[in-house]
Amino acid sequence: MLRVSRLARELEREFDIAIVCQSDYDARTLAPSWDVGRSSIPVVSVPKPRIERNRDALWGSPASVLKSTLSTFLPNRAPRIFDWTWSDDFVDEIRQLLKRHRVDVVWATKSWTAEMARAAGARRIIVDIDDFQGALMVEQLNQTAFSLRKPFHKRQANHLVKYERDLPSRFASVAVCKPEDVQRLSSNGGHIHVVPNGVDVPETIDREKHRAFEMLFVGTLNWEPNVEALASFVNDVLPEIRRALPDSRFVVVGRGPTPDDLARLLDRDDIEVHESPASLAEFYARAAISVIPLLTGGGTSIKTIESLAYAVPTVATSVAARGLGMLHGRHLLIADQSSELASCCIRLLTQPDEARALGISGREEVIRRLSWESVGAQARSAVRELLDAAST
């Protein structure tokens, strides 16, 4: 939702826009809780579809799974795993919007919303891919044990990979978040743009409030990759840091609820947990360093960008730094092995001058490339290019 709202705000700087979304809340209810709703951008809400469980392409009845798998052999067939998002009401709402107004470009935030926009009659569509679900699905299947459904799931996953690769031939333009994602797409067809994830950069920061030896982790506490990262850090990295720096503390902040297993793991004297705080600014100001020890997960890590935006010296895994274009030793420190993560944390906690310089450099790079203002300029350029191509 953050990417949607920020891109909408930036696109509105140059274009008249409206948002059509699927939600269980009507537009008037969305307005107070979503900053786009509080702006002048018109918002239209269509109820989310209700799909019977036994019709699920992956976990429904055996007949449904077989039918969904067989459909992957049909040419140009969108993956059946998108069926749970399909809404005839949503398609009709877009169709009516196209009739009432001159709509030059549709910016679709997912491939399945792009398919519905095309079914409604839209032609100039930019499909925004923040993550490639096919590659993630293949990776997850490679890590799971055999089951009777697995061959069917693998077929559907590979079909999804091919479908996503061919998106430039299905739509006028494709926007991806990382430069390396361009390689996942076919060169045949529409335009391809890199429109990265961004962050709201605080205008001022105060690093004089930081507390010596305080490490900060920020992330949704019930998201599985964050749970996995915290478990690995607390069990394998934190003990080594504590042996070298007995006064070190680990502060965990994020949206709850916190799963019971994670709550028990974090219930220690040297760990401080803050669930769903109103603001993160004070925690970033207090932190001597920020740690982002993600082991899995796709896309780009917003929390890595956010940490750098606050000029907090940051230690991240290669997963957390992926696609950001940040350099080890210049903008942040990158390490993957537990001993290397511990060593990097100890290094920054005990060398404040290096830590301070790293934080400043990281913030400057975020301002230059990854502020929403900078990202918005790239999004507007993608729309202009499509409009220019249409006019010729």
The model carries a pTM of 0.84
Domain ranges of the chain: 2-198+373-391, 207-370
Token digits of residue 229: 């990262």
Token digits of residue 375: 């990202």
pLDDT at position 35, please? 65
What CATH number should be reported for the domain whose range is 207-370? Answer: 3.40.50.2000
pLDDT at position 50, please? 81
User: From the first residue on, what is the mean pLDDT of each consecutive set of 10 residues in the chain (392 residues)?
Assistant: 87 92 79 62 86 84 93 91 90 94 94 95 94 90 92 96 95 92 86 93 90 96 94 97 97 94 95 94 96 84 94 96 93 97 98 96 96 95 90 72
Token digits of residue 251: 């502060």
126 vs 21: CA distance, rounded Å: 16
pLDDT at position 265, please? 96
262 vs 222: CA distance, rounded Å: 9
Top-level class of domain 2-198+373-391:
alpha beta
pLDDT at position 37, please? 54
Output Rg (C-alpha) for the chain, integer angstroms: 23
pLDDT at position 38, please? 55
3-state DSSP assignment of residue 138: helix
Same topology, domains 2-198+373-391 and 207-370? Answer is yes
Q: How many CB atoms lie within 10 A of CB 195?
A: 25
